[in-house]
Structure 1
């Protein structure tokens, strides 16, 4: 465990240097990950996303059946706001810089290096996904299609998202709504067109009412989470229409996040009814049910005891929403979520290094226990 640092730094930097934003193919970064998996059985799970882009999730295993699975995703958010090269993979002083360094190519590298460091007698699986930032398709495909997972039956899954190595026992999942209004494009001065935005006005007013209700109605809140109210975030897209053009298409996208104790149906029903009244075309996409383990679950107790920090919940979502179908999940990884999705994203190298022996210890502990005790 004393010579892993250069491997960790090099792998993390290499991964950051490859563009794998969710809307582009991740095959290049998947190839770099696979090159680091010497000695593992590797399963490639190829698919084409909804936009026709080639994608690949990876499952890798060594040792016998059972044990701990370490999971992370290869995709990143867009490079919005970056003023320097997002894919520099630059190591400067104590930090690795670049898009995805924290969320979550640095943690993925730590998972791989930890798995490599384990003796052959300790079973370990790597679940390396993609499209986590959008549809969670990679995790879903692993849960549904992986023969290697079915054969090796990991007893527990550690999703290494950046939590500052605080165990997260549960988090919210989302319903993603897309509402589309259709108009007629024309020069706005002629009176011949119809601006799709006008169809949105009443719908948007109702969405603001839902937003307020989530902050005011205790029946839609969960005191185990911070904030207690659910996220209801809205983005409007006129698809590049100019101000002197009647907008032909106006799209509203809403992400509604809810925890396991919150019934989402009142919000879902209200959005559907509002879209119907406004004459909008509405579609929905859902993550899996919000994953949540009790604080006294054996996996949560093991992680909390190992890192010496009490578990908590998180307001965001992770691949655990899909991977919980395979085994109980805890979210635990190096880095700070506050760095994620920013135009100056970076991760402290010492944090990545410190995570490796923790992952090794947890893998050994899980392997030493009966499956029912994890």
Structure 2
């Protein structure tokens, strides 16, 4: 049993489930959960496979959430081993998804199996929400499943997301929230002309650069005890014909805000639209896309249980953090659920030779089981 979670992690990694292809991962997981007494439903939305499984009849609902899809491996020559061979080498588990996040999913499944076997009459309900669309557009995955659950009146009370949260050692960091992410795409029109006759042209790039400099210099906020200040970053800039003597008539930029709860989409857009007016740019020149709003669990039974379980099995006082990108927790937290992210080390995610310490899979599974027992027993 000690190697059960590791064996399952390797079986999942061996399936090349590059977004949105699940490659049979959820079928394997569903069969195991069904054998453990879970009612399993496979939900296909668009090109995305999702799984919802629940055990227990009533009481608080604790959900394990995660994804079975992975990012592409990239150039195979950059890997020391086949990225889908799930190689064990000198104490490491190496493969695409080892850290993000098939090991967590395997640890969750085995934790649930043990908990159900040891506590067949447990209180509350234990559930799984898995998708093959976390690394992609994230439209037909967890977001769609949450809508499906809402239509059926199902509300999640506690949610553990298996994202790789740890920094230096397993359990040292838990994500209790994430910043929001707002994307903007500006397309500014001017009038193309010869650089020797600027009065006959309207340099679109000059106006766009002035706006971007304005936004980059703006102090958005100071953050709070859990969140850093809101940040603005320009990620792409394009203008010109390639010729040195042509004033560009069109200039484009893409940019992003990572924002804390002191901001929202509306407040950021209002400020940007005001600055657009100041620089002679129509507000409609900017197209917007909200990737997710900020969310946080500041206190509660889930944090208490997670701290206690990590202290018991890892001997650590874990740190709460909101750093990093966003996660599917952004679709679950707005329903009122307490949400935490707990998983293995994240230092190699999305890289060649993605890896974790092999023994951490079983250790993580023990921590998960302990959390469930504290909340549902």
TM-score band w.r.t. shorter chain: 0.7 to 0.9
Structure number with larger C-alpha Rg: 2
Cα deviation, 1:164-216, whole Å, max 9, x if unaligned, reads 22333222121233445799xxxxxxxxxxxxxx8556435533442343xxx
Q: Check the 8 A contact 2:33/2:109 in 1, yes or no.
A: yes
Within a 5 Å distance, the mapping from 1:98-137 to structure 2 comes to 98-119=95-116, 120-122=120-122, 123-137=125-139
Structure 2 distance, partners of 1:182, 1:98, is 47
Alignment of 1:47-66 (within 5 A): 47-48=45-46, 54-65=47-58, 66=60
C-alpha offsets along residues 88-121 of structure 1, whole Å, 9 cap, x if unaligned? 3222232121222211111111111111212232
DSSP-derived class of the 2:105 partner: helix
Partner of 2:355: 346
Partner SS, residue 38 of structure 1:
helix
**Aligned: 1:17 with 2:14:** yes
Q: For 1:232 and 1:90, how far apart are their aligned partners in 2?
A: 40
Q: Please, what TM-score do these two structures have when normalized by structure 2?
A: 0.75
CA contact (8 A) 1:107 1:161 kept: yes
Q: How does 1:81-96 map to 2 (within 5 A)?
A: 83-84=78-79, 85-96=82-93
Distance 1:139 1:156 in 2: 15
TM-score relative to the length of structure 1: 0.76
Alignment of 1:36-75 (within 5 A): 36-39=32-35, 40-48=38-46, 54-65=47-58, 66-75=60-69
- The partner residue of 2:297 within 293, 296, 321 is 293
Q: 1:315 pairs with 315, 323, 342, which one?
A: 323
Question: Could you list the per-position Cα deviations for residues 271-310 of structure 1 after superposition, in whole angstroms to 9, with x for gaps in the alignment?
Answer: 4567785578543232443221224x23222222322324
TM superposition shift of 1:255:
3.2
Aligned length: 341
Counterpart of 1:284 in structure 2 is: 288
| 1:302 aligned residue | 305
* Alignment match, 1:365: 374
Greater displacement, 35-44 / 273-282: 273-282
| Among candidates 153, 165, 175, match of residue 168 of structure 1 | 175
- CA pair 30-292 structure 1, distance change in 2 beyond 3 A: same
In structure 2, relative to structure 1, the CA distance for the partners of 1:310 and 1:29 (3 Å cut) is closer
Instruction: Write out aligned runs for 1:228-307 (5 A).
Output: 228-236=228-236, 252-271=253-272, 282-295=286-299, 297-307=300-310
Q: Which stretches in structure 2 are left out of the alignment for 5+ residues?
A: 191-202, 312-316
- 1:24-43 to structure 2, matched below 5 A, reads 24-26=20-22, 28-39=24-35, 40-43=38-41
CA drift of 1:353 comes to 1.1
Which runs of no fewer than 5 residues in structure 1 stay unpaired?
49-53, 184-197, 369-374
1:1-57 C-alpha deviation (Å, 9 max, x unpaired): xx142x3222212322333333x4335433343344332211222212xxxxx1112
